[in-house]
Each structure stands twice: as C-alpha cells, then as structure tokens.
Amino acid sequence: MLNNKDRILSQKLFQSERKIRLRWLVGVSALPLFGVVAAFGIAPDTEVQQHITTRTVIEALALPAMQSEAGKNESSWREERIQRGDTAGALLNRLDVNSADAQSFLREAQHAQALRQLKPGKTIQALTNQDGELLSLRYHFGGDNILLVEKQGDHFKSSEQALPLERKVEMKSGLITSSLFAATDDANMPDAVAIQIADIFSTDIDFHRDLQRGDKFTVAYEAFYNKGELVKSGQILAAEFVNNGKTYRTVYFRSQDGRGGYYTPEGKNLRKAFLRSPLEFSRISSGFSKARYHPVLKEWRAHKGVDYAAPTGTRVKSTADGSVAFAGRQNGYGNLVVIKHQGNHETVYGHLSGFAKGLRKGQRVSQGDVIGYVGMTGLATGPHLHYEFKVAGLQRNPLSTEVPVAFPIAASQKGEFDRYTQPLTARLELLHGTNLAALD
C-alpha cells in the first residue's frame, strides 16, 4: 500500500504526463502550414456528444455565361483576295457565308455591275456573325468608288459610294537607266504619274528620241489614300527633268478663271502651241524624207510625215487646240483625222484603227485630247501612226519645225502665282542633287 507521500507523487506525475499528451495533440492540430493533416485531440474523461443535429443549406449561385452563348451574336469582318477565275459565289463560300444568305445575296445583288467584273488582286470584305449570316459586304472595285451591300431584314440592298480619301503630297526622284517607265517603277511611282511626266515635258523633250541613260527626274504629286492604302494618284504639282545635262522645271498653277497649266518657276508657259509627238510612248519607224522606198507601193517617193510604230489601239492625241476638219476614210491614209489649228497650221493622223467616241467634223478639240487609236488601215504593212504637220497647206518636218509658244502668266496674276508656286519650288530644291529614290 502506497503511503501518502508516494500517492501524491504518483498523482503529480500522472497529471504532468496528461498535460504533455494534451499539448502534443493540440500542437498537431494547430499545423495549418501543411494543410493535409487533420488531428483532433480528445482529453481523457471528456464526454463525446453522441447525436449531432445537421441541416441542409441550399443556395443559388450565379454562374458565368458559357462563351458560345455570349458570343453567339458577335460579328466580325473577313477579307478575301480575288483570284483569277473567281465568282461571287466562290468568294462568299471562302468568306464563310451560310448557303441561305449566299443564295439570297446572289439573287438580289446580281445586277451590281462591279460584281460582274471581279478584278484579280482586289479584295472583298464581308461582315458576318458566328452563324455565317451576311450582314454587310464591301468591294473597292477601282477608282475612288466602293460597292456597299447591306442586309435589311431578309433582303440585301446594294449601292456605290465614294470612298473618304486623305490627300497627301508625295515626293519622288529617279534615274533613267533604260526607260521612263522602268525608272518610275524603281521609284515605286504609279504609271499615271509617269504618263503625266511625259505629257508635261513633251514640248521640250521627245521621249522617243531624246531620252538618255543618266537622265534624272524629281516630282511632287498628289496621292489619295483610304485607311492607309493608296487609292489613286492625282495631279503633278511640281517636276524637274534633267535631259542630256539640261534642266527643265515646272510648277502647276490654276488661275482665277479656273484654267490650270504648267509654267516655269519664272512664269513662262511650259506648254507650246504644239506637242512634239501625238503619242505618249513609241518609236519612230520612218522619218520625214524627200525620197523613201515605199514598202507597199514598191517605189521611191517622198515621205512627208513621220511614222510612229506602236501597238494597235495605242491612244493618239491632238497635238494642239483646234477643230476637226475631216474624220473618215481616205485612200491610202485609211482612217484619217485632220485638225485645223490657229493661223494656217494643220495636223494629219492616218492609218487609225478607229476614232474617239463621238468625234465628228467641226468638233473642237484641246491639246492632248484623244482623237483616235493606232492601227494599220490603208496602205500600211504594220500598226503605226502616220503624222503630218502642215503650214499653209505644205508638209513640214514636225521634228524640226519651230512652233509658237503659249502665253506666259499675266502680270496681274504674277503675285498670286509666286505665292502659290514658291513652296512647290522649295520641294524640288529639297531633292535637288540627291540620290534619294523616294521621300514621302
């Protein structure tokens, strides 16, 4: 039997051990850092409740909408480039337009002229939703017009609208190594600008004979953009051409009466009464001569004109202002146009394949107007233009005969001319003598 002292010591040891066990158990349950251990300490002699009351709680939780439902009615633009041989139906298929809308569109928009002339390289844009429903279609078919087709109810309405254009002045320079077109291509310039260059300087430079390797040009011209894409080029505003070491400069000026033209920076009219050539580009196949062997008649005879070899259909321009004295067929000339000019000057255009639409006797024409097209009618062995220049009824050599010049800027407009053209001349100075291919 334990004495009182031993009994007291035994109880203290038991209580101490009990406290240590409880600390360990509580310590284990208080380890949230690990999160994977669940420990519960129950002290000895602790009553455990046998029946725990439970109840079910149900709450309605707001769930996010499914992506397919949220985006069901969303629409987006698609774009397809027209390929050779494409049809409107093929394009709609590649644009993922559903068959019902495609059929309805083709039935209702079939009269739109632009859709019957799909041009390879152009693009068509379509606005569709996720079901392939066609909401709108845009087609920039050329120039500054766009075909717009919009869905209204169950039908499609088409219309042509003008594109909103942004005007910029671009400056480019180039070096002639083979031809004017090759040089403008290297400078990334539109062909329309190259043709203007030839027209502007044609009274001083014969681009058939005078162009030389090493010639240079600089030009400032209008360019019109839509959403960063070039739509068309406009008027040349200033230009410089160095031909065989001689520099020619011009600026564009529109007078108060609305008539525009090209002048030197000093105000001298660049335009002469007659162009040097009735064609933009070609080559001289036969010059003015008192004796030439005729390839058809097989005999020697005078050739009182200049022949320009060019493909059939090349545009023929009137070399000066005047009125049509004759337009029809005449003997060896074939299809012929004769234009009477101021004073006693007359020009003749023969072997034409056809005449400009509406051209008739007595009609007034301006310098540069198209009057017909190169052909080989009459006594001709190949397509070319026969051109004659007459003074008082006698043929003269158009390549060597001096022609009158047009009037310069009037003294009353000289101040306005200087204020308008000085900034343009400064643009030419900016690129003068540089080797820049382009500066936008």
- pLDDT tens digits, one per residue of 102-142: 898 888 876 777 787 788 888 888 999 988 899 998 888 87
* Residue position matching structure tokens 């024409």: 365
Q: 355, 302 in Cβ contact below 8 A?
A: no
Q: 170 and 158 in one domain?
A: no
Output the six-digit token pair for 147. Answer: 């075909």
Any domain includes 346:
yes
Cα 347 versus chain centre, distance: 38
Any domain includes 329:
yes
Report the percentage of the chain scoring pLDDT > 90: 32
- Indicate whether 259 pLDDT > 50: yes
- Picking from 343, 346, 344, the residue whose alpha carbon sits closest to that of residue 319 is 346
Residue 366's identity, in one-letter code, is S
**C-alpha Rg value of the chain to the nearest Å:** 43
Averaged pLDDT, 235-243: 95
Any domain includes 130:
yes
The strand pair at 283-286 and 260-263 is best described as: unpaired
Q: Residue 55: its pLDDT value, please?
A: 60
Q: Residue 370: its pLDDT value, please?
A: 95
Range of the domain at 196: 166-271+431-439
Burial level of 314, CB count in 10 A (0-12/13-18/19+)?
buried
Q: Residue 53: its pLDDT value, please?
A: 57
Q: 122 and 183 in one domain?
A: no
- pLDDT tens digits, one per residue of 215-230: 999 999 999 998 788 8
| Cβ neighbours of residue 405 closer than 8 Å, sequence gap 6 or more | 268, 269, 271, 272, 273
Q: 389 and 297 in one domain?
A: yes
CATH number at residue 386: 2.70.70.10
Split at pLDDT 50, 70, 90, the class of 85 is confident
Of 235 and 407, more confident:
235
Q: How many domains does the chain have?
A: 3
Q: 189 and 173 in one domain?
A: yes
DSSP annotation string for 82-101: --TT--HHHHHHHTT--HHH
Q: 392 and 318 in one domain?
A: yes
Burial 161-172 (b: 16+ CB within 10 A, else e): eebeeeeeebbb
Identify the three-state secondary structure at position 369.
Answer: coil
- Indicate whether 302 pLDDT > 60: no
Split at pLDDT 50, 70, 90, the class of 427 is confident
Of 85 and 301, more confident:
85
Three-state SS letters, 36-75: CCCCCCCCCCCCCCCCCCCCCCCCCCCCCCCHHHHCCCCE
Identify the three-state secondary structure at position 349.
Answer: strand
Q: 383 and 363 in one domain?
A: yes
Low-confidence winner among 199-208, 372-381, 426-435 (lowest mean pLDDT): 426-435
Split at pLDDT 50, 70, 90, the class of 440 is very low
CA atoms of 308 and 374, how far apart (whole Å): 9
Low-confidence winner among 158-172, 279-293, 304-318 (lowest mean pLDDT): 279-293
Q: 242 and 293 in one domain?
A: no
Any domain includes 28:
no
Split at pLDDT 50, 70, 90, the class of 426 is confident
CA atoms of 239 and 236, how far apart (whole Å): 7
Q: 290 and 266 in one domain?
A: no
How many CB atoms sit inside 10 A of residue 7's CB? Answer: 11
Of 362 and 113, more confident:
362
Output the six-digit token pair for 419. Answer: 């204020």
For residue 420, give the H/E element and its range: helix 414-431
pTM of the predicted protein model: 0.53
Q: 233 and 214 in one domain?
A: yes
Q: 358 and 301 in one domain?
A: yes
Q: Residue 333: its pLDDT value, please?
A: 92
DSSP state of 117: S
Strand partners, 272: 405
Any domain includes 41:
no
Instruction: For residue 267, give Cα distances in angstroms to 57, 235, 253, 260, 429.
Output: 96, 19, 10, 13, 17
Of 15 and 366, more confident:
366
- pLDDT tens digits, one per residue of 365-405: 988 899 999 999 998 888 999 999 988 888 888 877 777 66
CA atoms of 436 and 219, how far apart (whole Å): 12
* List of long-range contacts for 14-18, beta carbons under 8 Å, 24+ apart: 18/43, 18/44
CA atoms of 368 and 102, how far apart (whole Å): 47
CATH number at residue 200: 3.10.450.350
- Indicate whether 191 pLDDT > 50: yes
For residue 185, give the H/E element and its range: helix 180-186
Instruction: For residue 249, give Cα distances in angstroms to 176, 264, 330, 365.
Output: 17, 6, 42, 27
Of 163 and 208, more confident:
163
Of 149 and 114, more confident:
149
Q: 265 and 202 in one domain?
A: yes
How many CB atoms sit inside 10 A of residue 238's CB? Answer: 23
Q: 320 and 244 in one domain?
A: no
Of 92 and 11, more confident:
92
Q: Residue 282: its pLDDT value, please?
A: 59
Any domain includes 386:
yes
